[in-house]
Amino acid sequence: MQVGLIGYPVGHSISPAFQQAAFDAVGLDVHYHLWETPPEQLADIVSRLRQPDYLGANVTIPHKQAIVRFLDEIDSVARLIGAVNTIVREEGRLLGYNTDVEGFVRALEHDGGVTIAGRRIVVLGAGGAARAVVAAVLLGDPADLALCARRPEQAKALLADLTRAGLANTEDQSQVLPLDATSQSCKQAVQVADVVVNTTPVGMLHHATEGMLPIPADWLGVGQLVYDLIYNPAETPLLRAAKDRGARALNGLPMLVYQGASAFERWTGRAAPLKIMTKRAREALGG
Ligand code: NAP
């Protein structure tokens, strides 16, 4: 059987490494491919997935939103976010899911030791990953959510989209604040937060901001969990600063593995071998 990652570009993804390890570990004869797909080839690759030899696919940048219109059914969470990262072929029909929400929450609870309910949460950034994170937070009934973005209009549009898609109380539970080092409102929100989530690429390896932090280190303090969605490097400058200031730190690797594990379970109906997937993901990152 075949399964793979649809994206453009896909060359740097570590999904093939840990997904192939998972199929091999449970003894399934499945090959996980990298399907480098320019936008004009999206329709073709989706129609190929309808053939009996295919389990489905993962979907990544830039196709998570564009792929929705080619599928037969979209589950409620993916519909809320307007983005699909997992396709499952079932009796010739293509079903779309978004397992980023589940991956984010599972890592927060299991590896971060924090549940969303009643917590004060700050999310930095308002791009694609923030969409799943903000939906997950609002579905989890937080005490409040501050969304700090360098373009506040992007954050407002994200919240408006979630409201339109049917997420209740979006506006009551959340506020949009400017993200910059001089923003007193974002600073105050971060200082009183239980959880600070970075969804910006600031601090990512090989990014223009490598070595930098999305917020000043002295905004962070004891008792907080700082959750950076970046997984390369394993310890970003933000996470190093969090530890130095007595906060706890969680990187993006558990979320990446859990979203993949959830996809694996939907394709196969089998429990994902999490330990093997995590080990292989770390190895693929060179750690
Ligand atoms: P994206 O759609 O490009 O969104 C990035 C967001 O960060 C945008 O709001 C962007 O604002 C903002 N931003 C970019 N550079 C900034 C800067 N220098 N200062 C302040 N804000 C800045 O990217 P994405 O797909 O959401 O991915 C973001 C990060 O999350 C990446 O590092 C990615 O690897 C990681 N990620 C991890 C997982 C996981 O499973 N662990 C899953 C998804 C993503 P503008 O629009 O103004 O540029």
With cut-offs at 50, 70 and 90, classify the pLDDT of residue 218: very high
Mean of the pLDDT values across residues 158-182?
Answer: 89
Let me know whether 24 and 73 are in one domain.
yes
Predicted pLDDT of residue 50: 96
In CATH, what number is assigned to the domain containing residue 77? Answer: 3.40.50.10860
- Ligand 1 atom nearest the C-alpha of 212 is 18
Q: Measured in angstroms, how far is the CA atom of residue 229 from the centroid of ligand 1?
A: 9
Let me know whether 115 and 228 are in one domain.
yes
Residues whose beta carbon lies within 6 Å of some atom of ligand 1: 61, 100, 103, 125-130, 149-151, 154, 179, 199-202, 204, 209, 214, 229-231, 252, 255-256, 259
pLDDT in tens, 110-129: 999 999 999 999 999 999 89
Predicted pLDDT of residue 94: 98
Predicted pLDDT of residue 105: 98
First to last CA, the chain: 30
Judge whether residue 173 has pLDDT over 90: no
Across the chain, mean pLDDT equals 96
With cut-offs at 50, 70 and 90, classify the pLDDT of residue 177: very high
Let me know whether 90 and 110 are in one domain.
no
In CATH, what number is assigned to the domain containing residue 192? Answer: 3.40.50.720
The contacts of residue 116 (CB under 8 Å, 6+ apart) are 105, 108, 136, 137, 140, 141, 142, 195
Mean of the pLDDT values across residues 166-170?
Answer: 77
Predicted pLDDT of residue 33: 97
Q: How many residues does the chain have?
A: 287
> Count of domains in the chain?
2
Judge whether residue 287 has pLDDT over 80: no
Let me know whether 221 and 264 are in one domain.
no
Let me know whether 152 and 132 are in one domain.
yes
Let me know whether 81 and 70 are in one domain.
yes
The contacts of residue 179 (CB under 8 Å, 6+ apart) are 124, 125, 148, 149, 150, 186, 200, 214, 215
Predicted pLDDT of residue 167: 83
- Which residues are catalytically annotated? 64
Which two tokens mark 104? 């984010």
Let me know whether 164 and 218 are in one domain.
yes
Let me know whether 115 and 196 are in one domain.
yes
Let me know whether 108 and 41 are in one domain.
no
Q: Which amino acid is at 221?
A: G
Judge whether residue 171 has pLDDT over 90: no
- What are phi and psi for residue 90, nearest 5 degrees? -135, 115
- Ligand 1 atom nearest the C-alpha of 61 is 25
pLDDT in tens, 21-78: 999 999 999 999 999 999 999 999 999 999 999 999 999 999 999 999 999 999 999 9
What distance in Å separates the CA atoms of residue 76 and residue 139, rounded to the nearest whole number? 12
Let me know whether 135 and 188 are in one domain.
yes
Let me know whether 81 and 131 are in one domain.
no
Let me know whether 267 and 182 are in one domain.
no
Judge whether residue 207 has pLDDT over 90: yes
- Which structural domain, as residue segments, surrounds residue 242? 102-251
